[in-house]
Amino acid sequence: MIRCPAKAGRRKAVAAVWRCGGGSVIDTCKAANLYATYPADLLDYVNAPIGKGRPIPGPLKPHIACPTTCGTGSECTGITIFDLLAQHVKTGIASKRLRPSLALIDPATTYTLPRNVVAASGFDVLSHALESYTAKPYTRRAASPTPSLRPMSQGANPWSDVGCEAALKLAGQYLQRAVNDASDTEARDRMMYAATLAGIAFGNSGVHLPHGMAYSVAGLIRDYRTAGYPQDEPMVPHGMSVIVNAPSVFRFTASACPQRHIHGAHCLGAEVKGATDEDAAEILAGQLIKMMRATGIPNGIGGVGYGEADVEALTRGAWAQQRLLNNAPRETLQDDLRHLYRGGMSYW
């Protein structure tokens, strides 16, 4: 249900927007609210270099977001992401002005979701939290002297850490239950709350490589379809396109902040007693793989239809996401991305 579709947003009489739906619907309405309030060409506010990156001039109309999936956390963030079909790229607009005025979060909207929707959106939550927790520390992010040019994504910081740890503990305890048993309303309630906590965290810290690599995993899909989603065209759900990269990524980033990787795995339920820095990569990757297998996630990037022949195209797509690559705890070159896609082709 969309109460403020993009076209309606163009009418000047709009006084407020109310949106009810998953992340795509919420993101659409953020943009509708923006262009209704401060009319402009589509690309004016879009992130540079694809758009002009013009700052949003002032507050938008009041808007109330009602998420219906336990995933994106879009109700807490100032980010809207969309496919720019004309240029075959995924891009977005980022500004604290886009953050909804109010979120009404009712987990009962998730009780009838198919299991794969819960799995995909649940792993989106999990990865928001894990990426924000392992992001480049805020003390190492370059800060522009011009406040309007400073990125909303500040890197890992004490405030985002609080949300990340709480969301990871909930995901570790409830994700598998929420996917595998639709009648387990306690588990679905907790995953909805985890989505909000992770949204608060990543809207502040920012995500990095698993999300950056997901853009091309989703965008270049050939014939993969997911049960529980519309079957009319090939599609890999967002959270699935993220998590298939994650074990490969965390094996690469573990050396940058091993204790954070170990603690992340611990929050998810892994046994970490006696673990040393050298164990960080395998402990976290192993825990993720275990959870992916237990919830029917495809076996890596190969599991959604990619192979060695796709590595170049996947890498080109990810390389365009410099905003996200720059938030990773390690410098990531094009060759690293090739290595990460190859490492993520199959996990078991």
Binding site for a second copy (CB under 8 A): 158, 162-163, 165-166, 193, 197
Choice between 192 and 236, CB closer to a second copy? 192
Choice between 48 and 162, CB closer to a second copy? 162
- Minimum CB separation from a second copy for residue 27, in Å? 24
Choice between 63 and 208, CB closer to a second copy? 63
- Minimum CB separation from a second copy for residue 193, in Å? 6
Choice between 147 and 158, CB closer to a second copy? 158
Choice between 77 and 196, CB closer to a second copy? 196
Choice between 91 and 205, CB closer to a second copy? 205
State the DSSP string of 303-345: GGT--GGGHHHHHHHHHT-HHHHTTSSS---HHHHHHHHHHTS
- Minimum CB separation from a second copy for residue 102, in Å? 13
Q: What are phi and psi of 287, to 5 degrees?
A: -65, -40
State the DSSP string of 48-92: TTTS--PPP-S----EEEEE-SSS--GGG-SEEEEEEGGGTEEEE
Choice between 196 and 241, CB closer to a second copy? 196
Distances (CA, A) of 38 to 28, 35, 47, 56: 15, 5, 16, 8
- Minimum CB separation from a second copy for residue 191, in Å? 13
What is the C-alpha to C-alpha distance for residues 262 and 275, in angstroms, rounded to an integer? 8
CA dihedral (305, 308, 309, 314) in degrees, to 10, reads 70
- Minimum CB separation from a second copy for residue 86, in Å? 40
- Minimum CB separation from a second copy for residue 226, in Å? 31
What is the C-alpha to C-alpha distance for residues 192 and 229, in angstroms, rounded to an integer? 19
Choice between 35 and 193, CB closer to a second copy? 193
What is the C-alpha to C-alpha distance for residues 210 and 213, in angstroms, rounded to an integer? 5
- Minimum CB separation from a second copy for residue 290, in Å? 26
- Minimum CB separation from a second copy for residue 62, in Å? 13
What is the C-alpha to C-alpha distance for residues 216 and 304, in angstroms, rounded to an integer? 12
Q: Nearest-CA neighbor of 93 among 45, 58, 34, 144? A: 45
Report whether 51 contacts 31 (CB < 8 A).
no
Give, for 211, the enclosing helix (H) or strand (E).
Answer: helix 209-219
- Minimum CB separation from a second copy for residue 307, in Å? 43
Mapped to the 3 state alphabet, what secondary structure does 215-269 carry?
HHHHHCCCCCCCCCCCCCCCCCCHHHHHHCCHHHHHHHHHHHCHHHHHHHHHHCC
What is the C-alpha to C-alpha distance for residues 132 and 73, in angstroms, rounded to an integer? 13
What is the C-alpha to C-alpha distance for residues 321 and 164, in angstroms, rounded to an integer? 23
Choice between 135 and 166, CB closer to a second copy? 166
